[in-house]
A = this chain, B = another copy of it.
Amino acid sequence: MRRPTLEAVAARAGVSRATVSRVVNGAANVKPHLRTAVMRAVEELGYIPNSAARSLVTRRTDSIALVVSEPPSRVFSDDPFFSAVIRAVSQELEAADRQVILMLASSAAGHARVERYVAGGHVDGVILLSMHGAEPLPASLSRSRVPMVSHGRPVASLPVPYCDCDNRGGARAAVEHLISRGRRRIATISGPPDMTAAQDRLGGYREVMAAAGRRPIVATGDFTRESGATAMRRLLADEPEIDAVFAASDLMAVGALGTLRAAGRRVPDDVAVAGFDDIALAGFSEPPLTTVRQPVTEVAACIVRTLLSTDPPSAPVILPTELIVREST
C-alpha cells in the first residue's frame, strides 16, 4: 500500500493529471467545481506530492544549504552568535517557503560531503557562514553553478556575493568611544587572522589608533571565551599599563573580564573593556559590556533576498552597526 499519486487523485476526481497538478500548485485558471472535486480527492486520499518527481521536472528542490565552516562543538555549544545567525537565516528561509539544510564542514571530509551533496542537485542555493581564509568550498561549489551568497565578506580572491555588517566602522566606533572616555593605552584582542570579520575589526582599530597617534597593542584570539582570557593574560604581562581593551567578540571580552577580575583589575575603573556582537550575555556580564551590535536579522534577510533573487548577483551590502554603551567602559 503505497502513497497515493497524482494519477490516483485524478482518477478519483474524474479529471486529468494536468488539472490535478494545476490545483495542487495553485494555478489560477481552473473551474471552481473541478477545483473542489480535486481538493476533496486530495483530502480523502491524503495526497502529498512526491518531491523527487517534482524536482526532477522543475529543477528546483526548494531547499537551501546553510554551510557553516566550524566544528559542531563550536556551533552547538559555544558561541551564541551562531545560534542567532542560524535562527535568523532559518526564519527568513522558512518565510520564503524554503527548507534549510544545515551542514557543518570543518574538515576535508566535511567539505567533500557538502560538495557531493550540492553537486547532486539537492539544494537550490548555498549560504556560506564563518568562512576561513583557505576555504576550498566557494571554488569547488561554483563548479556546480549553484547560487551562493556568503554571510560576511569572503577573502578578496573569491568573487562570491555577500552581505555583512560594517565590521570596520563598528570597531572604529568602539575605539573612538574608548578614546573619548579619556583612555590612553588601548589594546585590542583580535579574532582569527584568517577571517575577514577579524581582519576588518582589527583594521578599524588600527585606523583610529593611527589617526590618534597612538601605538597599537594587539593580542590575537580566535573569538572564543578562553582565547579572550588567555590573550588578556598576555596583555597584562606584556603591557601592564593598558587602561582599555577592545575585544573583537563579546565572548572574548567576557573571557578578558574574567582575567581582569582574577588579576584584581577593576572594570572600568582600571581597565575599560568593549566587545563586539551584542550577544545576550553582554547585557548580563559583570559588569555589563559596552559592545557593537550587529544587525543579525537584517543581514540574514539581506542574504536570503540576494540568494533568492533572480537578478544578476548584486553588489555587496554592508549594514551599519550600533555602539551600545554599558558599564564596562
By a beta-carbon cutoff of 8 Å, the part of chain A in contact with chain B is 3, 46, 48-53, 55-56, 61, 72-73, 75-80, 82-83, 86-87, 90, 94, 99, 101-102, 113, 116-117, 119-122, 143-145
Contacts and interface: CB of A to CB of B under 8 A. Distances in A.
A52 B46 CA distance: 22
A224 to B, nearest CB: 13
A46 B50 CA distance: 28
Copies of this protein, total: 2
A116 B48 contact: yes
A75 B51 CA distance: 28
A145 B4 CA distance: 13
Given A56-B56, A75-B76, A94-B113, A50 B121 contact: yes
B48 A52 contact: no
B90 A86 contact: no
A48 B121 CA distance: 9
Contact of A76 (B55, B83, B122): B83
Contact of A46 (B102, B121, B143): B143
Given A76-B76, A77-B77, A52 B121 contact: yes
Given A52-B61, A53-B56, A120-B48, A72 B86 contact: yes
Contacts of A75: 76
Nearest to A102: B102
Contacts of A144: 3
A51 B121 contact: yes
Contacts of A82: 76-77
9 closest A-B pairs by beta carbon, nearest first, are A76-B83, A52-B55, A77-B80, A51-B120, A77-B83, A48-B119, A52-B56, A72-B87, A52-B52
Contacts of A83: 72-73, 76-77
Contacts of A78: 77
